[in-house]
Amino acid sequence: MDELKFIEGGVCAPLGFKAAGIHCGVRKNKSKKDLALILSEVPCAAAAVYTQNKVYGAPITVTRAHLQNGVAQAVVCNSGNANTCNADGVEKAEAMAELTAKALGIRAEDVIVASTGVIGQVLDLEPIASGIPAAAALLSGDGSAAAAEAIMTTDTVKKEIAASFSLGGKTVTLGAIAKGSGMIHPNMATMLSFFTTDAAISPQMLQKALSAVVQDSFNMISIDGDSSTNDTVAVLANGKAGNPPVEAPGADFDRFCEALAVFAKQLSRKIAKDGEGATKLLECEVKGARTVEAARTAAKAVISSSLVKCAMFGADANWGRVLCALGYSGADTDADKVEVAFVSKAGRVEVCRQSAGLPFSEETAKQVLSADEIHIAVDLHEGEAAATAWGCDLTYDYVKINGDYRT
């Protein structure tokens, strides 16, 4: 999609959206923001996808109910506590919606609620109750960065993106923020990501677009193989751009999906690169597969393998681990004609052909694998399908961060 024009402003870049992010006190550390708000001037078409984990957060129960009519106007999200596995979780998530509605003068059913952080600790509503009006007072067109910061947990960089493109003769704008870092192995959804757009699109088509796009973006990330209980991706579309409403499949819908896909893949790369403890982004592209499903399964197995991840951390061209992961992935492949190359900005090294080793320079391989973004190119030579997955290396810091996250 060549005509995407990237701009500043994140979720506030589309017409009619404001955002804010503050420290309210869910987290002890006062220098870390922990409460985000996003508001549209008018009610929006809304769509979302959620974790498939059978243990899921109370905010998901509430948001799912609120989005049944395909309409929403605001997002409230805290970090520091996932409000999951708590007996009073749903009650408190509802209270967050009501407090937000009251502060913003909108309906509680039009609020999307999300939480991220530790599982199984009772959520203290007090800081949130005083934080919501405080954040509401700060809502502005410059608030996207603060909101992006407020949803971070162990993330080290905030993730936001915005771009304009033309749709039905009008300029429409799409914005998004996201967070990832740990417990990241999304299934049908991802960690938290909120999209805003001023495009006019029906809730049904918006849901269709989102559900299609996550398959090859967020669902293709793995930081650590653990699917979170709170994964949520939500999109708000307020129609302010004035384009002819997208209400059926067709060229405009495809164009919107394409833009959404570019965003989702860029955010996926950002989330993978900022995985807990990560020093390197891993990208595995599997082509020559019999089916897209086989390519996805194979690519995701490679970037999920602890052994591949450790080898990449050590800049060790141990391609046998790539073959091993392809073999146990369950993908429909015979894995007997596999070609593997490692590629980075430092060069390219071919290491395997016909599933057997090629002679290569260890020195070159070390150079290639010392870059901070590694592309693992796999060709199964069995068909025409392809897929890409994103992950990160497994490092001492991942162990450190997760050996004592809670206490």
Catalytic machinery residues: 190
Euclidean distance between CA atoms 284 and 346, whole angstroms: 17
How far apart, in Å, do the first and last CA atoms of the chain sit? 46
CB of 266 or CB of 279, closer to a second copy: 279
Stretch that binds a second copy, among 26-34, 108-116, 163-171, 182-190 (CB under 8 A): 182-190
Our finding on whether 63 is near a second copy (CB under 8 A) is no
**Region 202-231 residues binding a second copy, contact defined as CB under 8 A:** 224-229
Q: What are phi and psi of 50, to 5 degrees?
A: -130, 165
Provide the minimum distance between the beta carbon of 328 and a second copy in the complex, in angstroms, as a whole number. 4
- Stretch near a second copy under the rule CB under 8 A, chosen from 42-50, 97-105, 241-249, 300-308: 300-308
Structure tokens at 374: 């590694």
In the list 40, 63, 79, 86, the residue contacting a second copy (rule: CB under 8 A) is 86
Report how many residues bind a second copy under the rule CB under 8 A: 68
**CB under 8 A, 24+ apart: contacts of 360-365:** 360/317, 362/317, 365/315, 365/317
Nearer to a second copy, 258 or 316 (CB): 316
Q: How far is residue 77 CA from its own chain's centroid?
A: 15
By CB under 8 A, residue 90 contacts a second copy = no
DSSP, res 1: -
305 makes contact with a second copy (CB under 8 A): yes
Measure the CA–CA gap between 404 and 190, rounded to whole angstroms. 24
Q: List the one residue from 4, 90, 118, 138 that touches a second copy (CB under 8 A).
A: 118
The residue among 373, 174, 167 whose CA lies nearest residue 262 is 174
Q: How far apart are CA 281 and CA 220, in angstroms?
A: 13
Quick check: 251 binds a second copy (CB under 8 A)?
no
* Helix runs in 15-160, H state only: 58-66, 89-104, 125-138, 144-150
The candidate with the shortest Cα–Cα distance to 180, out of 189, 188, 167, is 189
Residue 92 contacts a second copy per CB under 8 A: no
372 binds a second copy (CB under 8 A): no
Options 10-18, 158-166, 180-188, 381-389: segment touching a second copy (CB under 8 A): 180-188
Backbone dihedral angles phi then psi of residue 165, each to the nearest 5 degrees: -160, 165
Supply 139's token pair: 């809502």
Fill in the amino acid letter for 23.
H
Regarding 294 and contact with a second copy (CB under 8 A), the answer is: no
By CB atoms closer than 10 A (0-12, 13-18, 19+), residue 283 is: buried
Q: Which stretch binds a second copy (CB under 8 A): 153-161, 170-178, 249-257, 355-363?
A: 355-363
- Report if residue 311 touches a second copy, rule: CB under 8 A: yes
53 binds a second copy (CB under 8 A): yes
Specify the stretch interacting with a second copy by CB under 8 A; choose among 137-145, 243-251, 370-378, 398-406. Answer: 398-406
Which stretches of the chain bind a second copy, using CB under 8 A? 51-56, 82, 84-87, 118-122, 182-183, 185, 187, 224-229, 304-307, 310-311, 313-314, 316-321, 323-328, 333-335, 352, 354-357, 362, 394-396, 398-407
